[in-house]
Structure 1
Amino acid sequence: MDRIQISATDRSPRVDFDFASGRFQLSGESYPEDAAAFFGPLLQSLRTYLAAAASEPIVFEVELAYFNSSSAKALMNLFMPLEDAAGEGRAVTIRWLFTKGDETIAEAGEDFASDFSHARFDLVETSQAEC
């Protein structure tokens, strides 16, 4: 599959889905006008990848400084196929990066983490934004 790279905008995150290496990244801020239109193709590509590549480990890294409720739903839609793949024995790690002192983003990560029982969900505190 071709790598998906989308530059960040004022309202949407930077996307780097590197299917060849099994590394997926979202960073920046996420409150697009139409979250379904933005995230839908990403979700479809992720599902296609998961169906085709059965064994490679996956690292999905999220470093968002802000996201709205429709983006939260879209993130969960991205996370669920990863959880399913982990339940089928695939090594899946989700890394939730947040800046030290950003309790809102840290708590959001904790909320997401509570929905996982198969995928590894790491909450990673950083000293500053890495994006």
Structure 2
Amino acid sequence: MKALRIEAEIDSPEIYFNPDTKVFSISGISHPENAKEFYQQILDWLDEYYEFIKNQEPSKIIVDLNFRYINSTSYKYLRDVLRKISSFRSANFEVEVIWNYHEEDEELLHEGVVLFELPDINLPYKCIPYN
């Protein structure tokens, strides 16, 4: 299966979901003009990926998130992405999320913690500050 790679734009993050390494990375600024269209391509890829892996030997998927800024609409779609990734656990895949945030951005830290504690997501996560 091919990796999903979307180059960062001024208002949208870089996406690199590598099916070989099982590292799914989203980084940068997320306030695309059409968040639904932008995130739908990720959701579609995840549907294909699930079909690809569901009968494979379970392994670990790492989701590496590093937003400098995320608007509320993107946050809603990120929740959909994480909900879908969380469902991979039904095929016995382990999922771990890394939420990178600038050490002075308490709001972004809080948004990550709230997101991962939602009952429909409830994924193991680490919050890692950087400066």
Amino acid at match of 2:46: L
Amino acid at match of 2:6: I
State the Cα distance separating 1:94 from its structure 2 match: 1.0
Do residues 78 (structure 1) and 81 (structure 2) align?
Answer: yes
| Corresponding residue for residue 91 of structure 1 | 94
How high is the TM-score relative to the length of structure 2?
Answer: 0.89
| Corresponding residue for residue 127 of structure 2 | 123
What is the alpha-carbon distance in structure 2 between the residues aligned to residue 84 and residue 42 of structure 1? 15
State the Cα distance separating 1:87 from its structure 2 match: 4.5
State the Cα distance separating 1:88 from its structure 2 match: 4.4
| Corresponding residue for residue 68 of structure 2 | 65
Structure 1 runs of 4+ with >3 Å offset = none
What is the alpha-carbon distance in structure 2 between the residues aligned to residue 27 and residue 17 of structure 1? 11
Residue 52 of structure 1 aligns to a residue whose secondary structure is helix
Amino acid at match of 1:41: Q
Identity within the alignment, %: 23
Instruction: Give the aligned CA root-mean-square deviation in angstroms.
Output: 1.3
What is the alpha-carbon distance in structure 2 between the residues aligned to residue 56 and residue 36 of structure 1? 30
| Corresponding residue for residue 11 of structure 1 | 11
State the Cα distance separating 1:60 from its structure 2 match: 0.7
State the Cα distance separating 1:109 from its structure 2 match: 0.5
The gaps in structure 1 that reach 5 residues or longer are none
What is the alpha-carbon distance in structure 1 between the residues aligned to residue 4 and residue 61 of structure 2? 15
Do residues 103 (structure 1) and 100 (structure 2) align?
Answer: no
The gaps in structure 2 that reach 5 residues or longer are none
Aligned length: 126
| Corresponding residue for residue 49 of structure 2 | 49
What is the alpha-carbon distance in structure 1 between the residues aligned to residue 106 and residue 89 of structure 2? 28
